[in-house]
Amino acid sequence: MRAVCLQHVPFKGPGAFATALADRGVSLDRHLVPRDGLPGDAGDLLIVMGGPMSVNDSDTWIAEETAFIRSTLLAGKPVIGVCLGSQFIAKALGATVKPGKALEIGKTRIYVTEEGKHDPVFGAFPEALSVFEWHGEVFDLPQDCVPLAGSDIAPLQAFRFRSRAYGLLFHLEIETEGIEALCRECPSDLERAHVTASKVSIGFLPHMWLSHQIADRLIGHLLQSNH
């Protein structure tokens, strides 16, 4: 089996998703879309990562990637969208992506919805979770989607399209190196959110293991559904 990962900047990679795939003997092709363009196909599992740009930007590659994701979703293939990736999924399904009430950076408390409690992935974990965030934009719930989790700032933090595509505003996959890279590459976001790099890094460490457990379960569920 082969997974395909769409990256938008070098420092926002698949993290713990890559480990979960390797543990299952699944190969992983990475494409830095703004530089390399889109792959020929979405493989057996498409993972769409984050980035500092907006899906509402006018770059040609953004329109092309949105269309690529839309065709993958409508073909019923397994898809995971993280942060910008979840905004791509929302836009591809016709929902509005817009600025949120505030930046959400670092550890954020999210709450699993009633629907989320019955989800095969999120239903296996506590109803309240601390996850890692780094975003300013949010989305409305796309048509034919199920809301899975929300926070005080963003009422919709995660959704599922049909049974095999998940949009997540938060970073289940983030590892220590990824947090350090974000703090290094996006210092203006820290200033705007009035937080320090050390607070962002240290604050989330106790919760990283649970995020990685959920990431692993999500990968396992989607690969299993693809048999």
pLDDT in tens, 192-216: 999 999 999 888 999 999 999 999 9
Rounded to whole angstroms, how far apart are CA atoms 40 and 37? Answer: 10
Give me the pLDDT at residue 221, please: 97
pTM to 2 decimals? 0.96
Q: Which has the closest alpha carbon to 95: 57, 152, 138, 59? A: 138
Q: Which residues of the chain have pLDDT under 50?
A: none
Q: Sign (positive/negative) of CA torsion 18, 22, 26, 28?
A: positive
**179: its two tokens:** 């947090």
E strands, the chain, where? 2-7, 27-32, 45-48, 79-82, 97-112, 128-139, 145-150, 158-161, 165-168
pLDDT in tens, 149-206: 999 889 999 999 999 999 999 999 999 999 999 999 999 999 999 999 999 988 899 9
